[in-house]
Amino acid sequence: MTITLSETMTLNLLLLTLACFGIGAAGALLTAPWPRVSRLVGHACALVGAIGTLALGAAGLAGGTLGVIIPALLPVGGFSLGIDRLSAFFILVIAVAAIPSALYAIAYTRDYEGRHSLAGMGCGFNAFLAGMVLVVLARNALTFLLMWEVMSLASYFLVMTEAEHGETQHAGWVYFVMTHAGFACLFVGFLLMARATGTMDLGEWRAASVTVSEPMRYAVFALLALGFGTKAGVIPLHIWLPKAHPAAPSHVSAMMSGVMIKLGIYGLVRIGFDWLGVGPSWWGGAILVVGAISAVLGVLYALVEQDLKCLLAYSSVENIGIILLGVGGGMLFQSYHLDALASLALVAGLYHTVNHATFKPLLFMGAGAVVHATGTRNMEELGGLIKRMPQTAAYFLIGSVAIAALPPFNGFISEWLLFQSLLLSFQISATGTNLLFAAVVAALALTSGLAAACFVKAFGITFLALPRSEYAKRAREVPWMMRGAMGMSAVACLVLGVAPVGLLRLLNATAADLTGAHTDAHFNWDVIVADGAFAMASPLWIAVALTSLLALVLVALRIIGANARRRAYETWGCGRALQTSRFEYTSTAFANPFKRVFGLLYRPVKELDIRFHPESPFFVETITYRNEARSIFDEALYGPMSRLVQWASHRARIVQSGSVHLYLLYILVALVVLLALAG
Amino acid sequence: MLTQILIEAIQLLLVGLGAPLLVGLVRRVKARLQGRRGAGVLQPYADLRKLLVKEAVVSETTSWIFRFTPYLLVATMLLSSLLVPLLTTLTPLGFIGNIIVLMYLFLLGTFFLALAGLDAGSAFGGMGSSREMAVAALAEPTVMIAIFAIALRVGNTGLDEIVRRGADDSLLLLNPGHLLAFVAFFIVALAETGRLPVDNPATHLELTMIHEAMILEYSGRHLALIEWAAGMKLLIFLALLSNLFFPWGVAMAVTPAALTVAFVALVVKVGTLAVGIAAIETAVAKLRLFRLPALLSGSFALALLAVISFLFVK
């Protein structure tokens, strides 16, 4: 692109965006006595800020530069910001999700009036958005860590909005512990790297990393990967995610799931392709394996969920896994010096990142609309909503088709590219690696099949057939602003699915910045050609052909004189007199085949309790059936770990006797030891 | 330009008109093998005609998804028939998608069919949807690994290119990996098209059906479209199996003579496979639903072995 943007313009856009978030945060607090005003000010400013973020991202991708260093604000290197294509792309990802989410929040938060502090929510939401933008722009280790913490704390407070529920408190606590365990890893990793390279400036790390000793680079990689992996929610570090996402208000879940966890991906891309230079092949291999496990297990856990938002949260674990397949595959290709192929895998991963930032907020907003209309997230109590909330249903359906990676929506493009890049792994001549890739292809295929099943369930059980409860029966369509926000995301899903060319070209350049080579792919307006003529697909023509064939079938039926009449009648019920929702398939029933096939993983608990009438065993009074899946991670990993920590802290409590004399003795002993060491 | 339109039109007609014939053929051969006389091979056409003139009865419980699905299903199958090389490797619309696109188009149809199964709110529909999605999800890894094996062999995932390179080098057909991939893909085709031993297309016994349970609520023109689409899917899968793995006779140039040869070759190959399916359906019983993972993981293992054999022999 030939447009050159002056640095001042990018800087002004940044200042404008941050000013919006700042005014929103301060305004929400200042108008706290008037909840309605506070709510509107907070979220309207967030919306304007999000639009500013979009402009900032576009400016960055168009070649705008940025260099802000304020030494006075922070020690060691100051407060330092900069922008490159990767940063700009992630800013764009933030904006794509933030604009509809903020718009949605304006109407959605009305429910919270009078029940919760809207000032806190408005302030937290703005701080959350600003924190995420600044994390991506940070060019100094300390700036990065500080903004990372702003983002984490703001989201923590947002998760705790409904703190009166015990469930929310538990979710908040787990989130707090996990995010800070991750932060500790990041902190140590950053400090080690800064010491090894002698600079806190992130921009200089790539060049300096060649001089860092191998064990030190391995240690830094492991620590940073753990830290970023926790934020991304990869298995087994995911346990906070299915708790925190459902507990938060829906527009916050949309942002956390659509964007915040992506910043973990941002970090992993930075360490894999930028800060640490080209690593050994086991780095990419490890990320590939973790990605495959996250993808398959994430969707398997999503499949058995009955809580709609919890299902979406587990599906985020799955999608993070899919993105990591692109990132890990790229790293592995790069360690074999197949730079063009590395770019292709990275493009696929990054494209899936932006896709997930469009359809996951859409789905969370849809789930929020369902909660808004019915007051429940339990799918077993829903059903029949497609007739009561037709627009929400249509948007949720678009989100479901997109996330199931079906054409002509956007999820399909990234998954197709990912499959092509993984299949091209035969260019590596190392049989072990080839087999790893074959296993990963199988894992991705299984994931996409299971994701389709999962979203047939999510949409079908929630929106189709008859309502299963009074709440669902009384549901009404949500306000226009919420529908508008969902509509925006739905349109984005279609546009990114039908016309991916512009973004693909930009991503090609972004990936080339990191790997040093462009992909061997041609991204034309009507057809994508990967690696010579290895693979071709035309998303635009798929959509056009499907629509015209649909029309053709309709016309043809007319011409051959098919009977066009339709009669409405009740569902055939084996001769039963009436049809009620009691005969419908439930979410549990839908997931049952999967529970049996993957029983080893779920280890389902099955309880069947039948109470007979006291007079005669031929009359059944109640039947209670429970069939729950357990999480092996809670049982086998985190359970023992938390018991160990508890045991250790009980032991350590001995030193804290409460006697001042003993404490004085400790001080004396410590002094003596220190003096001896110093001497 | 005219040739191109002609080729695509021929493909469309071949799949659209051939599908009921194929279904009739399989049923007829099955009947003969079982010692019954059976209906004539043209019976499915009569069935479709009858369904088309009947009024459609639609459950009051359903939404627009139920009514939209049959049309979408037929549209995806017709689009697939434009992408697959049937008579010649010069499918002008081949650029729209490769073999992976084709599989995702099938999945799109399955997705909506499963939704339609849930829409009427009967227990059977839900049961069918749940089982259909389970089978589809478990079959997916095999499909991709089989595609991987093919891509390894010819270095391409474009359908035309796979057939062309296979035809150039017929010695490839003697490769053990090739045969393994064929068997794996064949089992997947049985699962995807709802044939024995995965699903019994001839049954309406509630507890065993998968596909039939999903479409239980359909009638009239909707049912006709779904039956037609199911027939087209079977035909496309059999044509894929014949042309990808045994590309004999496929026309490399568009001449009337070559196209005639290709047509005869296609009829013979697909006919052989159809007789094979009829024989299998006569010989084996339907597997219990929870035995299916064993069958599908078996076919997955075969596909993986195909990949491994290519990696080691290359």
* Count of C-beta atoms within a 10 Å radius of residue B32: 13
CB contact under 8 A, B78 and A549: yes
* Count of C-beta atoms within a 10 Å radius of residue A646: 10
Which pLDDT score, from 0 to 100, does residue A580 have? 80
CB contact under 8 A, A569 and B121: no
Which pLDDT score, from 0 to 100, does residue A111 have? 83
Q: Which two tokens stand for residue A662?
A: 């003993």
- Of the candidates A377, A369, A398, A381, the residue with the CA atom closest to the CA atom of residue A477: A369
Partners of A608 in the beta sheet? Answer: A625
Check if the beta carbon of residue A581 is closer than 8 Å to that of residue A467.
Answer: yes
Using CB atoms, pick whichever of A442, A459, A542 lies closest to residue B141: A442
**What residues of chain B lie within 8 A of the CB of A452, using their CB?**
107, 110-111, 133, 136-137
Partners of A530 in the beta sheet? Answer: A535
What part of B 215-254 touches A (C-beta under 8 Å)? Answer: 216-217, 220-221, 224-225
State the Cα–Cα distance between residues B243 and A260, nearest whole angstrom: 48
Cα dihedral B277, B281, B286, B292, rounded to 10, equals -20
Q: Number of CB pairs < 8 Å for A and B?
A: 262
**What residues of chain A lie within 8 A of the CB of B61, using their CB?**
465-466, 570-571, 579
Q: Which ranges of chain A have pLDDT less than 50?
A: 1-3
Write down the pTM of the prediction. Answer: 0.94
Condensed to tens digits (0 to 9), the pLDDT of residues A382-429 reads 988 999 999 999 999 999 999 999 989 999 999 999 999 999 988 888
The rounded radius of gyration (Å) of the Cα atoms in chain A is 27
Which pLDDT score, from 0 to 100, does residue B204 have? 74
A119 in contact with B at a CB cutoff of 8 Å?
Answer: no
**What residues of chain A lie within 8 A of the CB of B74, using their CB?**
549, 553
- Of the candidates A459, A310, A322, the residue with the CA atom closest to the CA atom of residue A399: A459
A560 in contact with B at a CB cutoff of 8 Å?
Answer: yes
Distance from CA of B212 to the nearest CA of A (A): 14
State the Cα–Cα distance between residues B167 and B172, nearest whole angstrom: 9
State the Cα–Cα distance between residues A229 and A236, nearest whole angstrom: 9
Q: Which two tokens stand for residue B226?
A: 């779904």
State the Cα–Cα distance between residues A437 and A445, nearest whole angstrom: 12
- Of the candidates A48, A69, A263, A34, the residue with the CA atom closest to the CA atom of residue A154: A263
Which pLDDT score, from 0 to 100, does residue B97 have? 86
Q: Which residue of chain B has the CA closest to A565?
A: B55
Distance from CA of B208 to the nearest CA of A (A): 14
State the Cα–Cα distance between residues A439 and A573, nearest whole angstrom: 44
β pairing state of A605-612 and A620-628? antiparallel
State the Cα–Cα distance between residues B180 and A31, nearest whole angstrom: 71
Give every CB contact of residue B104 below 8 A, 6+ residues apart in sequence. A405, A406, A407, A412, A416
Which pLDDT score, from 0 to 100, does residue A2 have? 41
What part of B 86-105 touches A (C-beta under 8 Å)? Answer: 93-98, 100-101, 104-105
Using CB atoms, pick whichever of A404, A538, A597 lies closest to residue B111: A404
Using CB atoms, pick whichever of B115, B123, B307 lies closest to residue A583: B123
CB contact under 8 A, B312 and A431: yes
Instruction: State the best of B48, B65, B69, B104 to mutate against chain A, taking most chain A CBs within 10 Å.
Output: B104
Which pLDDT score, from 0 to 100, does residue A262 have? 94
What part of B 22-61 touches A (C-beta under 8 Å)? Answer: 52-61
State the Cα–Cα distance between residues B181 and B296, nearest whole angstrom: 13
Check if the beta carbon of residue A367 is closer than 8 Å to that of residue A422.
Answer: no
Give the sign of the dihedral formed by CA A537, CA A540, CA A543, CA A546. Answer: negative
B313 in contact with A at a CB cutoff of 8 Å?
Answer: no
Which pLDDT score, from 0 to 100, does residue A4 have? 52
**What residues of chain B lie within 8 A of the CB of A552, using their CB?**
75, 78
Which pLDDT score, from 0 to 100, does residue A353 have? 95
B75 in contact with A at a CB cutoff of 8 Å?
Answer: yes
Q: Which residue of chain B has the CA closest to A531?
A: B156
The rounded radius of gyration (Å) of the Cα atoms in chain B is 19
CB contact under 8 A, B308 and A583: no
Local structure of residue A653 (DSSP, 8 states): G
State the Cα–Cα distance between residues B302 and B146, nearest whole angstrom: 9
CB contact under 8 A, A456 and B114: yes
Q: Which ranges of chain B have pLDDT less than 50?
A: none
Task: Name the H helices within chain B.
Answer: 2-33, 43-53, 64-83, 99-119, 123-154, 159-168, 176-192, 211-214, 220-245, 256-283, 292-313
**What residues of chain A lie within 8 A of the CB of B63, using their CB?**
386-387, 393, 464
Cα dihedral B126, B131, B134, B135, rounded to 10, equals -140
CB contact under 8 A, B221 and A557: yes
ipTM reported for the complex, 2 dp? 0.95
State the Cα–Cα distance between residues A458 and A476, nearest whole angstrom: 19
Taking phi first (over 0 means left), then psi (-120 to 50 degrees means alpha), and beta for anything else, what does residue B194 get? left
3-state secondary structure of A27: helix
A438 in contact with B at a CB cutoff of 8 Å?
Answer: yes
Instruction: State the best of B64, B110, B111 to mutate against chain A, taking most chain A CBs within 10 Å.
Output: B111
CB contact under 8 A, B118 and A461: yes
Using the CB atoms, write b or e for B45-84: b if 16+ within 10 Å.
eebbeebbebebbbbebbbebbbebbbbbbbbbbbbbbbb
State the Cα–Cα distance between residues B165 and B244, nearest whole angstrom: 10
Distance from CA of A575 to the nearest CA of B (A): 12
